Chain A
Amino acid sequence: MIEVRDLTKRFGEARALSHVDLCVETGRIVGLVGSNGAGKSTLLRVLSGVYRPDEGTAAVDGAPVYENVAVKERMIFVPDSPVFEAGATLRSTARLYAAFYPRYDWKKYEKLCGVFPLAEKKRISTMSKGMQRQAALISALSAAPDYLLLDEVFDGLDPVIRRLLKRVIANEVAERGMTVLIASHNLRELEDFCDTVGLLHEGGVLLEKEIDELHLGMHRVQVVFAQPVSDEALRAALDVVSLERTGTLVTLVLRGEREAAEEKLAALRPVFCEFLPLSLEEVFISEMESVGYDAARVLE
């Protein structure tokens, strides 16, 4: 389990992380979203032992990460721009990882090399950005980590490889109970992959919820009433997060159980009523607006 308690990280005068609390259960896939500069990468660097916390703690299974070899042997961090040694190949990078990670699994490496379309002996520096990322992921996954920290991992990957990677990671989670923490600014990418999503903004965690919980608790409804119903009446009857009118068509984002919302709407005698799916992004925007944040500014 990854536990972050009251974590603060400063860069000179600026605070990159401010009193962050986060808990990631073992075997979960957790997405970290937020705008640029929100502190996602900084949090991953603290969790991977690259940065030393200024205040608070970052611990894995109760042990601090920084300068803790026992923890770091079970954890791999794939940064947003992986860098390789001069002249490195996939094979030589794997050898490098194998030298430092005691559980490095060469069989898994061979298997992954068969899955991802990469030439083992080709110089990584001559590969495309997406292929370089694949090389880093193959090396990392072959180390059989208990904790995988990924920073903007889907950037530069084509849709096929993205799907493949998600499947490989999901298998690792299912088979070995690997814990994954993914930082991204792309909510749609995480929507169908993560169990939990945390939203970071200006160095703090604004929100941390199960994806299902987010989806189930919010609804978008398009409705046309036979008789005009005022905004006040709607807000009084329903838990309205947002409300828009286009002619007679009223678009509502509601919080709460679907059945209860349907009953209350039925009481207002609509001539047309349709429940539409909400994207994760819309759920986030709505949630954040409800707690007083200017969502448009937070999620660029």
Chain B
Amino acid sequence: MKKTVIRSKTVWRVVTTQLRAQYILLALGLGALLLLPAISVLFAAGNEWYMKSLAGMLGFLKDETVFFCGMLPMMFFALLLAVLQFSYLFHRARVDGVHSLPVTRVELFLGRVGAAVLAMAAGAVLFAASALSALLFAVPQFFPDTWYVVLENAVMIFVGGLAIYFFTAMCAAFAGSVWEMVLSTAVLGLGGTVANVCVGWLVRASIPVSAYSVSGDVFSPYILPWETVVNHETWMLLPLALWIVVPFAVGFWGFCRRRSELGEGGFATGFQKLVRAVTALDAALVMSILSLYMFRSSYAMYVLCGAVAAIASGLVLHLLYTHSPKGMWKAARWSAAGLCAAAVLNLCVAMGWIGVPRIPEEDEVAAVRVDTSVEEAGWNTETGGMIGSYTETVWNEYNDEEMRFLNVETGEDVLNTVEPGSVDRADVQKAVALARSMLEAQRARHFPFLPQADGVWRGSTPAPPYKIFRLEEKLYLEGRTVTLSCRDLFDGERTDGMLADAAALASSETYDRAPNREAAVSAAIAIRPFVYSEVKETPPDLEIPEADREAVRARLVEAARRDNAGLPAPEDAPDEAVLAALFGLDMEDVEKMGGVQIEVEPDAEVAFSGGVLLTSQRGKPDRYASAEGVRAKIGGGMQTMTFESGASTNVMVPQLVDVYPGQGANLFPEALQIYLEYADRT
């Protein structure tokens, strides 16, 4: 076997000639990556919203900056770089010039890749340098807690750019013309995601209690980088790395084996077969799904439309590739392969091999939560429409509690939601049994799982009366949650029995009194001063009695004085000024105010400073973090101000009330204690 010698000097020469050849693109791309981050950070520095807190700035840096000012320019940069570097393959005279040089194909490929990697690395470095410089000069107070985010962003856009570059280069190595490269890039880059979305839809439209959790992002080198930065998920770098390694290896192999004449006459390539198959797969899935809406969930039309779409896609592609129907039957086998893949996916869903959730064993489940409602309706079999319905919702006894959820959030963006539920082992046992009976019920009624538009079975609905019920059960496991949501039509004793079991579970003595629930309530009480929740003691939608108004007002002012030290204290300024400052009211309105009724959203959050490490010793916090960077948050909502004249006006409560450094520190530790206890349990 002939040994391939790679001469590093020659590779470097290719790198430098490539960099020189693409100087216009380099100037534009690197210029954008240098200027845009700085401009965006300077914009954020001038924006009150982002400057309000560290979390605001972190949110900005983890979202807008990195996407619009980093990833998007890098994506275009990488795409254009690959297209420009490899488009010579489709131009005979250019191929003559390049391939007659005393450089091996291996060196040519590595040189091009090296130039691209260098260019993109320079782009990422410029991005980081630009953003860090702007942070340092414009918002130095946030720099210590944000610099690492900028570096993470730089890594993400670099890796994302590499994925797009290598994928496009791989497509170029196999394509016979520029447009074929574009077509292959689009079809193969998005085909997997389209198929995945279709299968997800198919599962939901076929299986009432369904689960299809494969993320569609991982199937596309174009969507995955976007998702990585928008969600700021560093773990996504791993699948992104696969999108680098595999296209690099395949592209390298394809480039080195590529015949120079491939770009001259559009000779058929093996790549075209793959494009035909993927196109047929996607076309079959998309068209068959659309047929459900067009032909009232006819399964015959579902199958027919899928087949027709696959055949049509094959014909169109064949004409595009060859400009002639000649040889169509021979090429049709690849479209048939795509159609077969679609059929296999349908079969997997129909047989419940994918999409049916696995019920965990009882000992895997830590807590359970059940929500259910039932609707009884008549069905007019002639018109296919409903005739009257009523809804009955089964709630637990704490239904009227305001504080149903408590979100505890750290500066690291870890969000823990405290919900009503049960950790009682008997409840867990019942919940698991209920989940199993839900799956058995659907198998008895629906198997094989055939797709229906909106997941609603038409034409096979049993005679009235029947019930539509929604039963959602959450099983909390170590590190994950299994959600079973049943939303189809069931009838007979089995349904009634399941509903009764669910209602019994949701209103049991142990349910809703679980430690996490207790933690939520306690934490809510603890953080009330942060969120001015004394006001919540006034039941919503009730006028404050005349006699109590002064007292409520006084407590509100007291809360403000205590937690907003930066504002004028009552003894220094009139109470009205405090109110005005709190809720952004005009002083004139405040002076006229005779009473106040405030409604706020029941969510509350405690955000711990990202820079403060929280640890605990035997469930107790080993130290109390200072209140620096801590904020309390109330959801936005309308508040009604009633004036002495009897007139009232609605005012939007500020969506966020932040507690700034040094404020509320004396109230914070209790909430922290509860958070840690909760965190230890879960």
Q: A residues near B, CB below 8 A?
A: 11-12, 45, 48-52, 67, 69-70, 72-73, 75-77, 79-83, 85-87, 92, 96, 99-101
Contact = CB atoms under 8 A, between A and B. Distances in A.
Contacts of A96: 17
Contact of A45 (B21, B260, B267): B260
Nearest to B104: A67
Contact of B100 (A12, A50, A70, A99): A50
Contact of A48 (B7, B17, B24, B100): B100
A83 B97 contact: yes
B488 interface: no
B580 to A, nearest CB: 64
Interface stretch (B66-74, B87-95, B225-233): B87-95
Contact of B267 (A12, A69, A72, A77): A12
8 contacts: A45-B96, A45-B260, A49-B100, A72-B101, A72-B102, A75-B100, A85-B17, A85-B20
Contacts of B97: 79, 82-83
Interface in B6-55: 7, 10, 13, 16-17, 20-21, 23-24
Contacts of A80: 93
A50 B267 contact: no
B476 to A, nearest CB: 60
A51 B260 contact: yes
A73 B264 CA distance: 25
B245 interface: no
A50 B10 contact: no
A86 B100 contact: no
A77 B100 contact: yes
A70 to B, nearest CB: 8
A11 B264 contact: yes
Nearest to A102: B102
Given A50-B260, A69-B104, A85-B17, 18 more contacts: A45-B96, A45-B260, A50-B95, A50-B99, A51-B259, A52-B260, A67-B104, A67-B105, A75-B100, A76-B100, A77-B96, A79-B97, A81-B93, A85-B20, A85-B21, A99-B13, A100-B10, A100-B101
Contacts of B20: 85, 92
A19 to B, nearest CB: 19
Nearest to A92: B20
Given A86-B24, A100-B10, A73 B102 contact: yes
B621 to A, nearest CB: 64
Contacts, number: 70
B325 interface: no
Nearest to B265: A11
Contacts of A99: 13, 16-17
Nearest to A83: B93
B178 interface: no
A57 B16 CA distance: 34
B374 interface: no
B102 A101 contact: yes
A52 B256 CA distance: 12
B261 interface: yes
Interface of B: 7, 10, 13, 16-17, 20-21, 23-24, 91, 93-97, 99-105, 259-261, 264-265, 267-268
Contacts of B21: 85-86
B93 to A, nearest CB: 4
A69 B259 contact: no
A12 B265 contact: yes
A11 B267 CA distance: 8
A96 B17 CA distance: 7
B340 to A, nearest CB: 28
A11 B264 CA distance: 9
For the complex, would chain A's binding face be called helix, strand, loop or mixed by DSSP majority? loop
Contacts of A72: 100-102
A79 B93 contact: yes
Nearest to B4: A67
A50 B263 CA distance: 12
Given A69-B104, A99-B17, A49 B99 contact: yes
Contact of A51 (B7, B16, B261, B267): B261
Q: Which 7 A-B pairs have the closest CB atoms?
A: A72-B102, A79-B96, A73-B102, A77-B100, A48-B100, A83-B93, A81-B93
Contacts of B264: 11
Nearest to B91: A83
Contacts of A70: 102
> Which of B24, B93, B95, B100 has the largest number of chain A CB atoms within 10 A?
B100
Contacts of A79: 93, 96-97, 100
A295 to B, nearest CB: 29
A45 B97 CA distance: 10
Contacts of B265: 11-12
B423 to A, nearest CB: 68
Contact of A100 (B13, B94, B261): B13
Nearest to A14: B265
A148 to B, nearest CB: 12
Contacts of B7: 69
B103 A69 contact: yes
A11 B261 contact: yes
A294 to B, nearest CB: 28
B102 A69 contact: yes
> Which of A76, A92, A96 has the largest number of chain B CB atoms within 10 A?
A96
A69 B107 CA distance: 11
B102 A82 contact: no
Contacts of A83: 91, 93-94, 96-97
Contacts of A67: 104-105
A45 B259 CA distance: 12
> Which of B94, B264, B268 has the largest number of chain A CB atoms within 10 A?
B94
A81 B92 CA distance: 9
Contacts of A101: 102
A92 B7 CA distance: 23
Contact of B102 (A12, A85, A86, A100): A100
Nearest to B88: A83
A81 B93 CA distance: 6
Contact of B259 (A49, A52, A73, A92): A52
Nearest to B258: A52
Contacts of B105: 67
A6 B97 CA distance: 26
Given A12-B267, A86-B21, A86-B24, A100 B99 contact: no
Contacts of B16: 99
> Which of B21, B93, B99 has the largest number of chain A CB atoms within 10 A?
B99
A88 B656 CA distance: 59
A15 to B, nearest CB: 13
Nearest to B97: A83
Contacts of B268: 12
> Which of A45, A50, A101 has the largest number of chain B CB atoms within 10 A?
A50
Contacts of A51: 259-261
B117 to A, nearest CB: 20
Contacts of A75: 100
A182 to B, nearest CB: 16
Nearest to A65: B100
Nearest to B21: A85
A70 B23 CA distance: 30
Contacts of B96: 45, 48, 50, 77, 79, 83
A100 B105 CA distance: 14
Contacts of A52: 259-260
A86 B17 CA distance: 12
B385 to A, nearest CB: 61
Contacts of B267: 11-12
Contacts of B99: 49-50
Nearest to A52: B259
A73 B7 CA distance: 14
Contacts of B24: 86
A179 B100 CA distance: 17
A242 B77 CA distance: 68
A20 B24 CA distance: 45
Nearest to B106: A67
A67 B268 CA distance: 24
